[in-house]
Homo-oligomer: A and B are copies of this chain.
Amino acid sequence: MAESPVPSPVLPPRSARAHACALSAARDLLAEGGLPAATVDAISARSGVSKATLYKHWPSRTALAAEAFGREMADAIPLPDTGDPRADLEEQVRRVSAFYAGPTGEVFAQLLAACVTDPLAAPFFREFFLDGRRAAISVLWQRLVDAGLASPSVTAETATDLLFGPLIFRRLTGHAPLTISEADAIASAALEGLLRRE
């Protein structure tokens, strides 16, 4: 027992395979037809993973879809890094806005909506998607703080909500477009403040 010839068996390989297959199938289905297409039966059929197994890995269909979506989106919106912290943040708002405006944004909205109804899925959506996005913004925000440009009294949390909450709200209700100029207006207003400066 000198060395461990088979160190990998730590993780039941079979389980991992089923898990990965399911996520992959879900990802494809989400891309093809959004959340409505990511039916449990469809995922099961396409992945070869049985329904029963799916429900052993995830508490609900939405949770599975949320993880699949989150994992795929992990690197979907790379952070800009031009050396100008403020410009980077503004650019990120533009990118996220464009992301929400596109077909993937539709899936995001469906998932966000589904989590309202499905409390079991919400943690998955947070863990695999939202937390990642939030962490990315925190990086940008910290750069601003470090550069002495941002009020250190404002948390990254609040900054994130202020910058992206409006975009999401618009995406959900469709009451206003998600164009670049609108994104800029929001970013600008958030950064400069709504009140007039003397």
Contacts and interface: CB of A to CB of B under 8 A. Distances in A.
Interface of A: 36, 86, 109-110, 112-117, 122, 125-126, 130, 134, 144, 148-151, 154-155, 157-159, 161-170, 172-176, 185-186, 189-197
Main secondary structure of the interface of A (DSSP, over half): helix
Given A157-B176, A170-B161, A116 B117 contact: no
A107 to B, nearest CB: 11
Contacts of A166: 158, 161-162, 165-166
Contacts of A114: 113
A90 to B, nearest CB: 11
Assembly stoichiometry (copies): 4
Contact of A125 (B134, B164, B173): B173
A96 to B, nearest CB: 12
Given A86-B195, A165-B165, A169-B165, A174 B122 contact: yes
B191 A193 contact: yes
Contact of A162 (B36, B150, B172, B190): B190
